[in-house]
Amino acid sequence: MAKSADSVEKKLKDFVALMRETYNIYAVVLYGSYAEGRATDDSDIDVAVFSDDFGKDPYEEMKALFRLRRQIDTDIEPLPFSRDAYFGSDSAEFVNEIVRKGKVIYMAGRT
């Protein structure tokens, strides 16, 4: 049985709080099976993380986020993107689809 929506939401809130201790996070967007309501036991918790701190060295940025996720849940699969990518400055269709179809978990300036 997949993790409950409440459990996933709590884990993601904790993960966002942990990331915000180090990074200037603009947005965190849940995408994939959990966002679409079709998660299974084998599903990862896919999240796109948008920040001005990202977009320079994606490999190192992903490694850093993976180190942080180990403190919360290793099923969290974070992908780092620049803040500009959130607004479509990154022409990658994958990123545009995440922003269009994903569920915003955190947005700077929102409570």
Q: pTM for this one?
A: 0.93
Beta bridge partners of 48: 29, 79
**Residues spanned by the domain of 90:** 5-107
What is the share, in percent, of the chain residues with pLDDT greater than 70? Answer: 95
Predicted confidence (pLDDT) at residue 2 exceeds the cutoff of 80: no
- Per-residue pLDDT at 102 exceeds 60: yes
What is the average pLDDT score of the chain? 93
How many whole angstroms separate alpha carbon 103 and alpha carbon 45? 12
Number of domains in the chain: 1
Give the model's pLDDT for residue 90: 61
CATH of the domain at 70: 3.30.460.10
